[in-house]
Amino acid sequence: MANNDILSRPSLGERGWLASQLRDETMGGAILLFAAIGALIWANSPWGDSYFDLVHYKIGPAELGLNLSLGVWAADALLAIFFFVVGLELKHELVLGSLSKPAQAIVPAAAALGGMLVPALFYVAVNATLADGSLQGWGIPMATDIAFALAVLAIFGRKLPVALRAFLLTLAVVDDLGAISVIAIFYSDKFAMLWFAGFLATMLAYWLLQKYRISSPILFIPLVLIGWYFCYKSGVHATVAGVAFGFLTRVRTDPGETESPADKLIHTIHPISAGLAVPIFALFAAGVDLRATGVIEPLQSPIAIGIMVGLVLGKPIGIVGMAWFMARFTRASLSPGIAWRDVMAVGVLAGVGFTVALLISELGYPDNAFNLESAKISVLVASVVAAAIAAVILLSRSRQYARMAEIEEADLNHDDIPDVYQQGDAESNPEPR
């Protein structure tokens, strides 16, 4: 394939890695959706008070400053597992995947950046001009929920080319990194240097263990738990520890190894993250109490309008706009078989911002119940709207995707290697119609 093609088919090895990651995320997305719906129904049912009692129920050793509510444990501890997986995925993408070569990385990286900045700017524009606006939540519409997005793909875009799925995963990983950076810089408080120095020391120890090929879980598990605790006590949001340790994990294999430490960890932890940690967080975070206000009043606030505009309009505009600009700037073109409307479908789908958006909502409005409710319900509504629009675009291209999938998955010689990896690109990539 020509070097100036973008969104090209990944290598055979990368294809297998992607398939494994996306499969876990898709299954997790279905569980996540059920957890969110269950939380909303429970919170607004006659038994709604029991839901909020559970969310605020405190547990943990007070002597260590960890007598926390279950809601906080879900946000600070369970999401640290999620962000550990993000760190592993990001390291893989930077070292072995789509971000490992500058020529291939520039378009998805720029698209991810646009997908973060434009929604935030839309939010700021709305809340700076409307009465009673609040700028605290500008980070809410920045993140994409890959699990929720892939659940939509499982229904409406099952035949989406693997290159576009890889593009969506890259977008989600990069803007999750952006979101965690925003959380660390703008949504952390009471910074304690000594505790943070302890956290840095645990990171150094983790890196040294990786460097000298020490793999004993007897050392790693306590070290990671201590590092998480130091990060929590430093005032930096504890999920930052997850990304940091994931990113420090070795992704290249040594001679004689069949899997790198990162691959081993991701195969073990990813199902736990997607199937347990994130859905439990959604169960505790998605329960918005609408019994007093209803749905309409929270959605009329500038906060809600800014979030919905940012996710539904800002995401696709930022992603597609930056991808198109970089393609023009570098004189690159889309790979044969992929059209700009396919990139638009991915951009709209990236507006499904659920898990991290809910987390930033809680961090941005911890002491204002109405603003928090407005933020959360608008995240839910915007995600549903974005998913619906993406579904329409995906269905309009379903015949083309089916033709491409038939070619990409064909294995006529039954050697378990798709034939497209054993023949010329001219035969393997149909022109879009």
Residue 199 within a domain: no
Whole-number pLDDT of residue 4: 59
DSSP 413: T
Strand-pair partners of 68: 59
Domain count, the chain: 1
Report yes or no on 109 lying in a domain. Answer: yes
Report the distance separating Cα 307 and Cα 299, nearest Å: 10
pLDDT at 369: 87
Burial class (CB in 10 A: 0-12, 13-18, 19+), 295: middle
Asked if residue 212 is part of any domain, the answer here is: no
**Predicted local confidence at residue 430, as pLDDT:** 44
Q: Quote the CA–CA distance of 351 and 373 in Å, as a whole number.
A: 19
Q: What are the beta bridge partners of residue 5?
A: 333
How many residues would you count in the chain? 433
- The pLDDT value given to residue 428: 42
Residue 431's pLDDT is 43
pLDDT at 98: 77
pLDDT at 432: 42
CA dist list (Å): 151 to 131, 155, 211, 297? 37, 7, 37, 29
List the domain range (segments joined by +) for residue 410: 5-188+237-426
Q: Cβ distance 287 to 55 under 8 Å? A: yes
How high is the pLDDT of residue 164? 85
Q: Quote the pLDDT of residue 152.
A: 85
In a domain, 433, yes or no: no
pLDDT mean by block of 10 residues, the chain; 433 residues? 62 75 79 91 94 96 94 95 92 85 81 94 96 92 85 81 83 85 85 95 96 92 97 93 95 90 92 92 91 85 96 96 88 79 92 90 89 93 93 88 76 72 52 41
Q: Is residue 208 part of a domain?
A: no
Is residue 244 included in any domain, yes or no? yes
C-alpha 341, offset from chain centre: 22
User: Residue 424: its pLDDT value, please?
Assistant: 53
Element of type H or E holding 333: strand 333-334
* 346 token code pair: 């991915």
Chain segment 76-114, per-residue pLDDT in tens: 999 999 999 999 988 988 898 878 887 777 888 899 999
Report if residue 193 sits inside a domain.
no
CATH of the domain at 17: 1.20.1530.10
| pLDDT on residue 1 | 38
Predicted confidence (pLDDT) per residue in 256-267, tens digit: 888 999 999 999
For position 385, what pLDDT does the model report?
A: 95
pTM: 0.88
pLDDT at 187 (0 to 100): 86
Residue 304 lies inside a defined structural domain of this protein = yes
